[in-house]
Each structure stands twice: as C-alpha cells, then as structure tokens.
A = this chain, B = another copy of it.
Amino acid sequence: MYTLRDWMIVDDGRDGQSALENGNRLLIGNGYMAKRGTVEEADASYMPAIILSGVYDKYGDLWREPVNAPDPLFTILSVDCVPLTLTSERLATHEQSLDFRYGVYSRNTTWNVKDANLTISTERFISMDDVHLLCMKYTVSTDSDCLSLSIEICINTDIHDLNGPHLGNFQFEVKGQTHTLVCETLEKKIPIAIANEIVERKSLSYLIEENRSLYFFNMDGSNSVELFVFGAIWTGLDVDDPLVNVKKSVSRAKEVGWDRLLAAHKAKWDENWRAGDVVIKGDDYAQRVLRYSLYHMHIIVPRYKRICGSLSIPARGLSGQTYKGAVFWDTEMFIAPYFLVTEPELAAQFIRYRIETLPGARRKAAEYGFRGAFFAWESQETGDDACTDFGVTDVFTGRPVRTYFRDKQIHISADIVFAIKRYVDATCDFVILKEGGLELILEVARFYLSHIYYSPDRKRYESLDVVGPDEYHERVNNNAFTNRMILMVFETAEAFLNLLKEGDEAFIEKLLAKLDFSEDISLMRDVIPHFYVPQPNGQGIIEQFDGYFRLEDCSIDTVRSRLKDPKEYWGGGNGVASTTRIIKQADVVTMLALFGVDYSIPIKEANLAFYEPRTEHGSSLSACMYALLACEVGGSDWAYPFFIRSAEIDITGKSKHFAGLVYIGGTHPAANGGAWLTAVHGFCGFSLKNNKIHVTPRLPSHWEKITFRAALPDGLHEVTVTRDGWNEEII
C-alpha cells in the first residue's frame, strides 16, 4: 500500500502487481531518459526499464517502440552466493519511496540472514543538471555478524521489451571500476553507449567476471558498506562519438562526487518549481496529488537540445514502451497548456516537433489518397504513423482486431492546429507561424478540404467516416467534435493568412505559390459558411455523431454486465459499447470545453448532464474535460472529484491496464496536464491572450487560495486566486 505525504510517496508492496505499479508510481527522469521505480536487483519479470526519449527501434514485424537501455545501475547483493530478492523467504521489511520534489528514488529492504538483519538502503536520481547521468548510493548494513556477502554490479542487458529485442552488437569493456558497453539499435544502427563507475566509501576486494564486478566482504554489525554507482548514457543521436562522451561523463561524475551532483540536480529542480509549482491552501490532498502530477510532466519534458530534431512528449511519457513511445494528441491538448504558461519555449518546441514531422504527415495523407497533411495518430521521430491497423487483440480468438485509430481518427491534424493557434493567441509569437507554423496549418486545411464531401441533398459540407475522441464508436459521420475542429482549422488558416499578409505580403505570396494553394483558398472560402457542425436539438443536446441517438440507451453497468471477459475491448466491431450510447471519453463535452464561447450555459449544462452518465471514462483524458466544462457552468464542486481522479491516476494505479490482450499500462501525462488544466483554467477561470492574464475565480468551496505562476515576456507573474478575487504580481 502506498502512503502519500508532502512531496513524498512511499509504498511497501512487494508482489508482482506492486512491482508493476511502483515501476510507474516511483518513476524518475529528466526528459532525456527515465528509469522505472523498480529495485536495483529486479530481473526482467519486474519490467524494469530505462526509456530513452526519441530513440526508437523496430524488431522484425513487431511494433516500432522506444528503446529500453541497458541499466548501468544494476546491483545485486548475495549471501553465500544466494541473491537476496523481494521474493526471498527471508525478506523482513521492504519500502520504496519517491521524493517528488527532487526526483529522488529510495528503497529500504531488510532480510533476516543467519540471525542478523541485513538491510539495503539506496537512493538514486537521474540528473536534471546533466541529462546523461544516473547516480546511485547503495548502502548495506547489519545489526549483527554477517559473513560471506557479495555485491554484483554490471551494465544489465537482460532487458524486458514489449516488442523487442532492439539492441545488438554488444561490446563490453571493464577497466578497473569502470564498465562500458557500446551497442546499437537493430533497425537504424543507432549507437548507444552506457558506462558506469563504481566508487566505494571504503575499499573492498573485488574481481571481474564476465563483465560483472563482484565485491566480497563480511560485516560485524558495527559498520556499513557504502557504494556509489555513477552511470551515464549517450546515443548517436546526441553526439557523434557517444563512447567518448559516456566515459567522460562517468569520470567527471566520480570526480564531482555524489553530494555536489545531487546539489546541482536539486538546484535545477528548484528552478523548475519556481515557475511550475502550484500552491493550494485548504486542501492538503489536492496539493499533494497536483504536485505529483506536475512532477510527472517535469521528468518527461525534453528540455535538452538534440542534434537531430525537436522532441515532444509520448502519451505514456517515458514510463515504458506502451503505446510505442508515440506522441498522440495528448501533448497538444492536455500537456502543452501547462508549459505554455510556465515555460512557453517548451510549448513552442512541441510545435516545432510537428513542423519538422510535416513530411511524414504529407506521406500519410498521400498514402490514403488525400492531399495536405494527415498527422500520425502515433507519431515517432519521423512523423510516419506508428499506429497499426490492428491495435487490439481479441480475447476470445487471440486474433488481432482491426481498429481505425490510424486511418479515421483524423482530428489529430486539427488538434495540432488548435495548439498552434492557442500558442500564438497567448504569446503573439508570429515567428513560429513564419517558421513553418502557417505552412503546417495550410497543409492541414488542405487535408480536410480533400477529405470533406458536399451533400447536394442537405446543401452542406460534411465530414464522413471518422473516429472521434470516443474511440468506441468507429467510422461515424459528422462527429460534432471533429467537425467543429475542422471548421476551426479553416477559420484559423484564413485568419492567420490575413494577419500575416498585413505584415508581410511577400511572405504569404511566396508561401501560397510554393504550396500551389490558390484553388484551395477559393474552396476553403466556399466551405466555411456551408460546413456542417451538429447543433443542439430541442433538449439542448448535441448528437455526438449522425445516428448516435438511434443507439441503445442503457447504463454503463448494463454494458459492463455483458462482458464475458474482464480484458475485453469495449469498442470496435464486436465491443459491448459499440452498439450503445455508452462512450469511452469526453467527446461532445471536449468540444464544448474547447469552444466554450460558442455555447450558452444551458447548452453546456444539458450536455454535461446527458453525456456524463453515459461516459465510461475509459481514457485518462476524459475526467478533466468534464471538470473543465463543469467549472464553466458553476459546478466546481461537481468538478472536484474529476479533478482528483485526473490528478491521482498515477498514484492509485487505477487505470486500464489492458485493451483486449494488449498491455496499455504506464503513466498518464495527459491526465497530469488535465489536473493542472482543471486547477488553473477550471477552478481559476484562467486564460492567457496576447500575454495578458484573465482570471474568473470559481474555486471548490473548501479551497481557500491557489497560487500559480505564468512566465510572460515581462517576467514571472505570480497569480493568487481566492474564492472572491485574485491578484497578479511580477516576482
């Protein structure tokens, strides 16, 4: 069971399920890499991992996924050559914890060995100061005589992959207390260099055997053994010669030493929190879970600059290989808003990642017979789509199930445009539009122009055969959310074209000529007034898609009761939800939350009341959208449990771990971002336009005060919101 304290989460679970959950719960990282919260001696069955941001590999016909690096901190303690593990019968107590203010993982485990209590205490961090560095302090102590102990340390290549292996051509070297390993990915032959450097507090005898260092010692109950392991990882995507760099890294680390490395690391974290922290008065639990959510965004956001292109944030962060380490709409819609306010250059970087992957989006559009840019549903480094046509495994037949995430969830392109518009509206940074942003927007507009159809009967343009955010209902026509987003793309393209034209007509002319866009502009102008966006019916309800109201109207419990297997996928061809009105996640409600100014309070209320009981919240992206919309209609107290659900998802571990037979566990950065969205945009009614802050306080009734910061061109603004008012000061 876990315990949550201020800036600290502790868990004493030891079984396989706990190991899996703690792997996510106690994750540490720095945006270059992250290491799962597993114990040092964990074998592959515990799913330990060090995930490298933006390094992907494909093995055979299996799914392309991020590379899991060999672990330079692997350490195992044995007594009489028998390793001590969490499954040992001699295990007495065990505890793992995470200091999520500073990203420091600790563990304390005691075994009863020959009348002595033998304890391992470790601390580790992945440096925020030097992104290539992993540091560990490893302490062994006893309360009595304990003989014949040994510690084995190596760069562990016994790697758990979902769709691996991904590395080959291993070349080990052990010199003194320095281990190095160079290997390369299978597909693109990207070299990866790993090193570690072992430093003992007091010298121990050791030998080297098969690339492992083995330390031998006895203990008498009065002393303890303390080791430091400094690991480092560099890849061929960072630098031309990763081996040279990795050696330098560990040698420098040894020189600098644990204390100063830790201090530098903490100083960087203090910097992160200076802009990024949110302080809630009147609700300790909310304070803790929100900070924990923010922590999870900070350990995965790529702040360092790579030589080969911008990076963004995968949907499961760096917590593993789930969802192929791919970037989904999560970043644009749920995560970017936080960084847009606290570190806008990171929000710009997410946009640059999309601009740089525009060629992949063009390839995907062409593949499906469209023009323009159809962005990947699951985007990796090239922008080609990692999403497969078969995303789920049928639990009854073991056969892959055809899903339509890749070819039909077309709102992804519009989501990116939405994020660019939001960024530009907030920051007035038109440079990004000129540096590819507008080209991207026009190419997305062109994609939708080639996708839509005109109904001569209904005298309007429509969007057909799509999958909306509610993925349980596939291949629907006129999904309200998608249609509204498409219209927004056309409107945004038109608006930015006009805006930039005023300032730099030559640029626009050149761009339009380059893209051969003049015919598309005429079409777009014809489409805008005739494009269909589903409107509220007599009861104020907006139909999620054509024919949704024809579906069976039953409860979530009824649908759940039809499951024959708990791991069954609810959607798609034969899913229990597909033929009912039960939806996976906020869909119409997301539209209302994003386009709030277009809709009245009663419409928002009616749709909240209609859709919420029909929403399974099978996605971690769902709760915050309900919360955001509820805040707009004065329902902050109603929204509060949804806020909590978003903020605590990676603490409780209560989320879907399987879609059919496919493992989908990991951390939930979008929910983390959604928690911040709800706290700041929702409860504070915050918005940012033209570098101006707007606030409409609507705190939950038990909150006294909330303070957050916004990094604007004139400095860091601290915003304090109470139930009755708010103020803003530059600090």
Binding site for B on A (CB under 8 A): 369, 371, 389-390, 394, 396-399, 401-402, 449-457, 461-462, 464-465, 475, 477, 523, 527, 546, 562, 564, 572-574, 576, 578-579
Q: Which residues of B are found within 8 Å of A455, using beta-carbon distances?
A: 453-454
Whether A449 contacts B454 in the complex (CB less than 8 A), given A399-B574, A562-B399, comes out as no
Determine which of B398, B456, B475 lies in contact with A523 in the assembled complex, contact meaning CB atoms within 8 Å: B456
The reply to whether B457 and A449 contact each other, CB–CB distance below 8 Å, is yes
Which of B449, B456, B523, B564 is close to A449, meaning CB atoms less than 8 Å apart?
Answer: B456
Partner of A464, one of B396, B453, B461, B576: B453
Contact assessment for B579 and A402 in the assembled complex, using a CB-CB cutoff below 8 Å? yes
Are the C-beta atoms of B574 and A397 separated by less than 8 Å?
yes
CB nearest to A372 among chain B residues: B457
Q: Which of B371, B465, B477 contacts A457 (CB 8 A)?
A: B371
Given contacts A399-B576, A453-B456, A465-B465, 13 further A-B contacts (CB under 8 A): A390-B579, A396-B397, A396-B564, A397-B574, A399-B574, A402-B574, A449-B456, A453-B462, A454-B455, A464-B464, A465-B475, A465-B477, A572-B573
Question: Chain A interface mostly helix, strand, loop or mixed?
Answer: loop
Bound CA span A398–B390, Å: 23
Contacting pair B396 A396 (CB below 8 A): yes
Closest approach, in angstroms, between the C-beta of A405 and any C-beta of chain B? 15
Which 9 pairs of residues, A with B, have the shortest CB-CB distance?
A: A573-B573, A453-B453, A396-B396, A450-B457, A454-B454, A573-B574, A397-B564, A574-B574, A402-B579
11 inter-chain pairs at a CB distance below 8 angstroms, sorted by A residue, are A371-B457, A389-B579, A396-B396, A449-B456, A453-B453, A454-B454, A464-B464, A475-B475, A572-B573, A573-B578, A574-B574
Min CB–CB distance A215 → chain B (angstroms): 54
Most B CB within 10 A of own CB, among A401, A453, A455, A461: A453
The answer to whether A401 and B523 touch across the interface, beta carbons within 8 angstroms, is no
A461 contacts across to B, CB distance below 8 A: 456
Contacts of A398 in B (CB 8 A): 564
Residue of B nearest to A568 (CB): B397
What residues on B are CB-neighbors of A451 within 8 Å?
457
Q: In whole angstroms, how far apart are the Cα atoms of A702 and B14 in the complex?
A: 80
Q: Which residues of B contact A450 (CB under 8 A)?
A: 457
B477 touches A394 (CB 8 A): no
Question: For the complex, what is the distance from the CA of A464 to the CA of B396, rounded to whole Å?
Answer: 32
- Min distance, Cβ A697 to any Cβ of chain B, angstroms: 45
Which B residue sits closest to A446, measured CB to CB?
B457
List the B residue with the shortest CB-CB distance to A523. Answer: B456
Contact call B574/A394, Cβ cutoff below 8 A:
yes
Chain B residues with CB under 8 Å of A452's CB are 456
Bound-state CA distance A477–B453 (Å) is 13
A312 to chain B, nearest CB (A): 29
Shortest CB-to-CB span from A646 to chain B, Å, is 32
Closest Cβ of chain B: how far from A112's Cβ, in Å? 50
Residues of B within 8 A of A456 (CB): 449, 452-454, 461, 523, 527
Q: Which residue on B lies nearest to A563, using beta carbons?
A: B397
Which residue of chain B has the shortest Cβ distance to A449 in the bound complex?
A: B457
Residues of B within 8 A of A572 (CB): 573-574
Q: Judging by beta carbons under 8 Å apart, are B453 and A574 in contact?
A: no
Contacting residues, chain B, for A369 (C-beta < 8 A):
546
Complex CA–CA separation, A369 to B454 (angstroms): 16
Residue of B nearest to A369 (CB): B546
Q: How far is the CA of A546 from the CA of B452 in the complex (A)?
A: 16
- Complex: A578 Cα to B399 Cα, angstroms: 13
A576 surroundings in chain B (CB, below 8 A): 399
CB distance from A174 to the nearest CB of B (A): 49
- Residue on B nearest A457 in the bound complex, by CB: B450
Nearest CB in chain B: distance from A367 CB, A: 9
